[in-house]
Structure 1
Amino acid sequence: MKRLFATLTILLAAGGFAVAHDADDKAPHDGESVKLIAQHLMSEKLDGEEATASVVEVTIAPGQEGLAHRHPGPGIVYVIEGTYELGIDDKPTEIFKAGESFYEPGGCLHRVSRNPSKTEQTKLVAIVLHPRDAKEVAIPEPKTK
């Protein structure tokens, strides 16, 4: 597992990603776009299941926020540009700036996913490890009534 995380860290630091296939931009919410950059089948298993590493680029317009969501596995996120406000589960929100990275446990609720700047866009690259049969890398949280 250490080797896997070392490889993922090198990919993030180098910024050079081998594109397995290209996907169209998806707009899960106004002001936010998500682009699948690459997917790699992993030889290691995740919780005993065959796994995939998906690399996504997320761009959030100034002052915008994404919808509440979860990921089917853990992720490592690197802030390429701007600032990013993150609130997971019941933890206090945190602000991350360009050049910083953070870890997200699998299945946690992203209740806050926001660009706090009124003038600059936010751009992130995330590597999400997930079961190969996962239908979505980001699972929208049902709205409460």
Structure 2
Amino acid sequence: MSWLEWGLQLLLLAMLGAAIPFALRLERALREIRRDRAAMDGSAQGLGEAARMAEAAMVRLRASAELAGRQVAEKLATAEPLRDDLRYLIERAETLADRLEGLVRNGRPLVQEAPRAPEPASLQSQAERDLLRAITLGARGAR
């Protein structure tokens, strides 16, 4: 072997010795990448499972919303006739209240002019006295 061959072999040996730390660093980096890949695969599976669970929850939520919508529609359907009945009753009550108010206005001068009848002592409550007064006024107004 010549000196050139020995020199090239030493150079090759030095280069291989210098490459060993880089190879070790590369091996560690590959190990971390594999570990991260396994974690990423696990995360991807977890993400897929979470997506499936979210889809199932969304389906349940949609079904629940549709059921609630149907229930509200049913309640609304039963409430509309009641609303119409109440509106009718309120209109009738307003007209009756207006008529009653007119009768009261017309009857006030008659009450002030008419002599007061003695109230029986047996009537205890104000409501009974008011009823008797209204009956008396009604009989006078009918004459």
Taking structure 1 as the reference length, what is the TM-score of the superposition? 0.17
Task: Decide which structure has greater helix share.
Answer: 2
* Higher normalized contact order (CA 8 Å, seq sep 6+, divided by chain length): 1
Task: Decide which structure has greater strand share.
Answer: 1
Taking structure 2 as the reference length, what is the TM-score of the superposition? 0.17
